[in-house]
Structure 1
Amino acid sequence: MALTGRQRTPSEHAFSPHDAVLRTAAPHLARRRFLTVTAAAALLAFSTNRPARGATAAPERDAARITDDPFTLGVASGDPLPDSVLLWTRLAPEPFAEDGGLGQERVVVYWEVAIDEWFALVEQQGAATAHPEYAHSVHVDVKGLTPDSTYYYRFRVGAWISPVGRTRTAPAPGGDADGLRLAAVACQAYQDGYYTAHRHLAQEDVDVVFHLGDYLYEYGVNSAGGARRYTDRKLPDVFNHEATTLADYRLRYALYKNDPDLQAAHAQHPFVVTWDDHETENNYAGPYDEKGSPQDQFLVRRAAAYRAYWENQPLRADQLPQGPDARLYRRLTWGSLAQFDILDTRQYRSDQAYEDRPHPPGPESDDPARTLTGDAQERWLLDGWRTSDALWNVMPQQVCFSQRKFDLTAPARVSMDAWDGYRASRDRVMAGAKAAGVENWMVLTGDVHVGYAFDIKEDFDDPASKAVGTEFTCTSIASGGDGTEKPADWDTYMTANPHMKYYDGRRGYVRVELGRDEAQVDFRIVPAITTPGASISTTASFVTEVGSPGLKSA
């Protein structure tokens, strides 16, 4: 998240890599030079490497020769379906070495799934190969599981056994699930403080966690771990520069995933992940980076970032990037109770208007051709709502959906990086929700490093207009440091935005319980993260009733 302006290179065209459609842009909108698909493909060949086969395959390492714990980055699970779940680990006996300590050899990894944490009743087991081409990550899509069930899993390499993870499957399609407990998290800049909130999240009784972006930050981390101020150890210099290459991003994930609190949260709950900007570069927009670099250069970086993201997250093969492109938006269901439409608001968006500075809406930002989601994803979202039979339609995504005025004066400035900078795109989504008859609509948001609760209004400029849904931003796990309960702009924001019902600037997460009659949302906050071990408390709770959009204090 950034509110500062940036300089961009002139261009005569804007390019959407998702659908390969060229659109002529007005001269005042087009800022960066055009790149042909062919040139990009040539430069991105490295990022499409697949494990070799046959005689050219990498040699296989004898597991007995792995003398240090290979499970230093923990375990994770994700994207629960009624009959399957994705299990993940990444082998790294030397996590801060570029090759993880395993060189270019393949490693066979054995896995087990049981219905008890002692593995007396093993349900399924098998073997997978950790390939050097994928940074020795393992993605096991375990199928044939029982719907709406809890499972335990672990991995083994030689004599080494991983920590035990707990996961679960979703209810059967159309099943009458009575409730669902979820948490939403985002924004975990390692250098800004400890992951205390993740430690508390590991102890929550939730079914699934949605990570809404900024899982890592590309910025350098000094030897003291930034605000963590390590005195008992020193981080290698390899982290003290901005990540731009595949090796950089892989190492940065190793640093983040080496954190025990983050490992604990992953081991306890299945995660559903989506990215925002910092997994690649601050405030990038499609093929455009913040610095105005040539598109071919930035797309090579984006391909590296996307590849490392997939390698380090519990994602299925469907999300494996192809060069600089990856289909991350996807749909999950929880019986007949909830449909989750997980968005990607970075990869396909138009360039930010007004040089990405806070600015009142104007002709540049309100151009109806502009999009935050891209045409294909927008159609997918609206089509999914039209066919949804779920009671709750939940939209996990990255940037503030509701209007958020920064000033009391008119015209008020708004963020050009959020949906306020793409109002035509937001209008189309809101019209699509109305046309589809979506009644119980909830938006989950990250990015802003504060907690907000909004009524989504039919007309944001008319406080008396109908509420059509609710939005909750989950603050940050660490980004922004300790924060404060009432930031300096608290009075201004709460006055300028009557549909904003809550604003808190401290760290934590959102906990949501979806039921058949209502949903309850709790803002869970820790008072400080620059020292470890802080307690957690619920600072506010809201309910929104089925068939009656809008927030009420619980």
Structure 2
Amino acid sequence: MAPTGRHRRLAEHAFSPHDAVMGAAARHLARRRFLTVTAAAAALAFSTNIPARGAVAAPERTARITKDPFTLGVASGDPLPDSVLLWTRLAPEPFLQDGGMGTERVTVEWEVAVDEYFAAVLLRGTADAHAEYNHSVHVDVRGLTPGTVYYYRFRTGAWISPTGRTRTAPPADAETASLKLGAVACQAYQDGYYTVLRHLAQDDVDVVLHLGDYLYEYAVNSAGGERRYTDVVLPDVFNRETMTLADYRLRYSLYKSDEDLKAAHAAHPFVVAWDDHETENNYADDIPENAVPPEEFLLRRAAAYRAYWENQPLRAAQLPQGPDAQLYRRLHWGTLAQFDILDTRQYRSDQAYDDRPHPPGPESDDPARTMTGAAQEQWLLDGWQSSTALWNVMPQQVCFSQRKFDVTADAPLSMDAWDGYRASRDRVVAGARATGVENWLILTGDVHVGYALDVKEDFDDPESATVGTEVTCTSVASGRDGVEQPANWDLYMRANPHMKFYNGKRGYVRAELDREAARLDFRTVSAVSIPGAPVTTAASFVTEAGNPGLTPA
């Protein structure tokens, strides 16, 4: 939730949908023009002399690194049938601004094998770790066999990274029998331990979807907030809000130093999507939370987006250009599942009613308002139109289904979620119906609780058709321990008859999709205030293929 007293630039009159599209395009061009002509300001967010894409590799450079440079682990992501993206970052001193690497460019070797002992290395190569990219390494390994588990590692000088395990997607036309995935979100470091991620690392899933708030911009004190059982004194560089590129880079170093997070990345390929806290709480497009000029906020956004790409297993297509980055993208798991990963933060209209809970009204229901922007909305509908997948999975950030906060006729709704963009949601629901999407599964983060929801054609009519299923994956740590049954549990369940489950503990969602049904398990831990808490299944639901709607398993 956003704090009160925000200063928002609100529209003074209603716009037509055409005006909204043209306005979005104008803002985009203004951003590009801003960074083009304001070189001095842009330099605040970016280093200079960034190597060009496709540049010829320099001769091999092996720095004299005297400490383990692989302190932040390894990761893989966005698996394709013949390719997977491998990531690491060199940081022998992760809590220093340069990671202890200085400005030297370093050659890093990578290897891929089918066994964890690397008895028979299938592929190997080298990549340069540039200071301009904070010595991160992104290797798009191609020529792999579909539907195969691989092991990978990196080496520079005498140092060898931990081993990572990944897998490729099945062939595009394969009648894949099943898919197991984990969904997580919201991992405020200062709110507790990443026990949830340790359990996820040990779970038998094919891929992990991270649905946003990978890090938080808020200050972390020297004790690490709620991490009372860790004998570590953090430097003062973390005890301030992230504003600059150096701040965001260091904050990723803090988060990625966590052993449980490193274990989850090493165990499974990740598909990542950002929400607000990777930049700033509840921002909307180029409009910040507080009274900051958009041109100033765009510098901060550019820094945040740059650091995000540097620290995630993302391909070159997601590399930011100034304050813009196309993070929405599409992946497939044979003909079993299509993943349409949304970005509901970068292109959205400003939150209505000063981003405070409010009943639906002319401002929030303006048909010109958009959650996704026109281009992404059309991309989503076009993807559904051409989809041959049994399950159309939509990983995204904020609650899609209606969520009334009380039982009155004019019950307030969240203006930051899709409830504040009802016309945009109606267009997406209508598009799902028009394109014949039968098995629509929405995976959501943000809210720090677990919900199981039937997606209704008309949320105000409980008897209307159910068109899909939404589950929210609670949080990894944000919100601290939480409670199994929040104080407003009975009120929410009565106010929202399409809500089938509501739980306030920390955890993740485990989903198993096959040709008959999708099973959804809410896996929760008893506490994140102490390390090593056990995990249990709080509830399980099934939604049958061709018969949308949730039933207890």
TM surpasses 0.5: yes
Q: Counterpart of 2:432 in 1: which secondary structure?
A: helix
Unaligned runs of 5+ in 2: none
The answer (yes or no) to whether the contact 1:13–1:22 under 8 Å persists in 2 is no
The answer (yes or no) to whether the contact 2:112–2:123 under 8 Å persists in 1 is yes
C-alpha distance in structure 1 between counterparts of 2:21 and 2:352, whole Å = 21
Report matched runs for 1:120-135 at 5 Å: 120-135=119-134
C-alpha distance in structure 1 between counterparts of 2:63 and 2:47, whole Å = 31
1:384–1:58: structure 2 CA closer, same or farther, 3 Å change rule?
closer
**Shift in Å, 1:275:** 0.1
The answer (yes or no) to whether the contact 2:217–2:280 under 8 Å persists in 1 is yes
Alignment coverage as a number of residue pairs: 543
Q: Counterpart of 2:320 in 1: which secondary structure?
A: coil
1:133–1:544: structure 2 CA closer, same or farther, 3 Å change rule?
same
The answer (yes or no) to whether the contact 2:10–2:352 under 8 Å persists in 1 is no
The answer (yes or no) to whether the contact 2:8–2:354 under 8 Å persists in 1 is yes
Report matched runs for 1:260-275 at 5 Å: 260-275=259-274
C-alpha distance in structure 1 between counterparts of 2:235 and 2:13, whole Å = 42
**Shift in Å, 1:523:** 0.2
**Shift in Å, 1:22:** 2.3
Q: Counterpart of 1:86 in 2: which secondary structure?
A: strand
* Structure 2 residue aligned with 1:29: none
1:3–1:181: structure 2 CA closer, same or farther, 3 Å change rule?
farther
* Structure 1 residue aligned with 2:542: 543
Instruction: Tell me, yes or no, if structure 1 residue 6 matches structure 2 residue 6.
Output: yes
Q: Counterpart of 2:107 in 1: which secondary structure?
A: strand
C-alpha distance in structure 2 between counterparts of 1:545 and 1:48, whole Å = 51
**Shift in Å, 1:465:** 1.5
* Structure 2 residue aligned with 1:292: 291
1:9–1:364: structure 2 CA closer, same or farther, 3 Å change rule?
closer
**Shift in Å, 1:24:** 12
Moved more, 247-256 or 485-494: 485-494
- Write the letter of the residue equivalent to 2:307: A
Report matched runs for 1:71-110 at 5 Å: 71-110=70-109
The answer (yes or no) to whether the contact 2:57–2:128 under 8 Å persists in 1 is no
- Write the letter of the residue equivalent to 2:334: G
Report matched runs for 1:435-450 at 5 Å: 435-450=434-449
Instruction: Tell me, yes or no, if structure 1 residue 427 matches structure 2 residue 401.
Output: no
- Write the letter of the residue equivalent to 1:69: D
**Shift in Å, 1:65:** 1.4
**Shift in Å, 1:58:** 12
Listed one character per residue, the Cα deviations across residues 486-526 of structure 1 (whole Å, up to 9, x for unaligned) are 11111110000000000000000000000000010000000
* Structure 2 residue aligned with 1:313: 312
* Structure 2 residue aligned with 1:39: 34
* Structure 1 residue aligned with 2:303: 304
Instruction: Tell me, yes or no, if structure 1 residue 366 matches structure 2 residue 365.
Output: yes
**Shift in Å, 1:49:** 4.5
1:388–1:20: structure 2 CA closer, same or farther, 3 Å change rule?
closer
Report matched runs for 1:342-357 at 5 Å: 342-357=341-356
* Structure 1 residue aligned with 2:409: 410
C-alpha distance in structure 1 between counterparts of 2:172 and 2:61, whole Å = 43
Q: Counterpart of 2:306 in 1: which secondary structure?
A: helix
- Write the letter of the residue equivalent to 2:42: L
- Write the letter of the residue equivalent to 2:131: P
C-alpha distance in structure 2 between counterparts of 1:24 and 1:258, whole Å = 39
**Shift in Å, 1:63:** 3.1
- Write the letter of the residue equivalent to 2:34: A
Report matched runs for 1:199-278 at 5 Å: 199-230=198-229, 232-278=231-277
The answer (yes or no) to whether the contact 2:165–2:267 under 8 Å persists in 1 is yes
C-alpha distance in structure 2 between counterparts of 1:10 and 1:370, whole Å = 12
* Structure 2 residue aligned with 1:21: 22
1:436–1:48: structure 2 CA closer, same or farther, 3 Å change rule?
farther
**Shift in Å, 1:200:** 0.3
* Structure 2 residue aligned with 1:195: 194
C-alpha distance in structure 2 between counterparts of 1:211 and 1:59, whole Å = 34
C-alpha distance in structure 2 between counterparts of 1:216 and 1:483, whole Å = 19
Q: Counterpart of 1:262 in 2: which secondary structure?
A: helix
Moved more, 63-72 or 227-236: 227-236
C-alpha distance in structure 2 between counterparts of 1:280 and 1:168, whole Å = 30
Q: Counterpart of 1:447 in 2: which secondary structure?
A: coil
**Shift in Å, 1:443:** 0.1
Listed one character per residue, the Cα deviations across residues 236-285 of structure 1 (whole Å, up to 9, x for unaligned) are 00000000100000000000000000000000000000000000000000
The answer (yes or no) to whether the contact 1:370–1:425 under 8 Å persists in 2 is yes
**Shift in Å, 1:39:** 2.8
- Write the letter of the residue equivalent to 1:318: A
Listed one character per residue, the Cα deviations across residues 145-194 of structure 1 (whole Å, up to 9, x for unaligned) are 00000000000011100000000000001111100000000000000000
Q: Counterpart of 2:413 in 1: which secondary structure?
A: coil
1:14–1:301: structure 2 CA closer, same or farther, 3 Å change rule?
farther
Listed one character per residue, the Cα deviations across residues 64-85 of structure 1 (whole Å, up to 9, x for unaligned) are 6100000000000000000000
Q: TM-score, normalised by structure 2?
A: 0.94
The answer (yes or no) to whether the contact 1:35–1:296 under 8 Å persists in 2 is no
Q: Counterpart of 1:470 in 2: which secondary structure?
A: strand
C-alpha distance in structure 2 between counterparts of 1:466 and 1:5, whole Å = 39
C-alpha distance in structure 1 between counterparts of 2:56 and 2:234, whole Å = 34
The answer (yes or no) to whether the contact 2:63–2:104 under 8 Å persists in 1 is no
C-alpha distance in structure 1 between counterparts of 2:59 and 2:516, whole Å = 55
- Write the letter of the residue equivalent to 2:6: R
1:36–1:397: structure 2 CA closer, same or farther, 3 Å change rule?
closer
1:244–1:288: structure 2 CA closer, same or farther, 3 Å change rule?
same
C-alpha distance in structure 2 between counterparts of 1:208 and 1:231, whole Å = 30
C-alpha distance in structure 2 between counterparts of 1:6 and 1:358, whole Å = 13
- Write the letter of the residue equivalent to 1:299: L
Q: RMSD of the TM alignment (CA)?
A: 2.4
- Write the letter of the residue equivalent to 1:8: R
Q: Counterpart of 1:167 in 2: which secondary structure?
A: strand
* Structure 2 residue aligned with 1:458: 457
The answer (yes or no) to whether the contact 1:442–1:470 under 8 Å persists in 2 is yes
**Shift in Å, 1:457:** 0.7
Q: TM-score, normalised by structure 1?
A: 0.94
- Write the letter of the residue equivalent to 1:129: D
* Structure 2 residue aligned with 1:113: 112
1:13–1:99: structure 2 CA closer, same or farther, 3 Å change rule?
farther
C-alpha distance in structure 1 between counterparts of 2:516 and 2:229, whole Å = 48
* Structure 1 residue aligned with 2:171: 172
Listed one character per residue, the Cα deviations across residues 457-486 of structure 1 (whole Å, up to 9, x for unaligned) are 111111121111000000000000000011
C-alpha distance in structure 1 between counterparts of 2:31 and 2:88, whole Å = 37
Unaligned runs of 5+ in 1: 26-31
C-alpha distance in structure 1 between counterparts of 2:390 and 2:25, whole Å = 41
Moved more, 400-409 or 4-13: 4-13
* Structure 1 residue aligned with 2:512: 513
C-alpha distance in structure 1 between counterparts of 2:486 and 2:7, whole Å = 29
C-alpha distance in structure 1 between counterparts of 2:535 and 2:344, whole Å = 31
C-alpha distance in structure 2 between counterparts of 1:394 and 1:245, whole Å = 35
1:224–1:466: structure 2 CA closer, same or farther, 3 Å change rule?
same
The answer (yes or no) to whether the contact 2:87–2:137 under 8 Å persists in 1 is yes
- Write the letter of the residue equivalent to 2:389: A
Instruction: Tell me, yes or no, if structure 1 residue 386 matches structure 2 residue 381.
Output: no
1:60–1:97: structure 2 CA closer, same or farther, 3 Å change rule?
farther
**Shift in Å, 1:409:** 1.1
Q: Percent identity, aligned pairs only?
A: 72
1:61–1:442: structure 2 CA closer, same or farther, 3 Å change rule?
same
**Shift in Å, 1:334:** 0.3
C-alpha distance in structure 2 between counterparts of 1:525 and 1:334, whole Å = 27
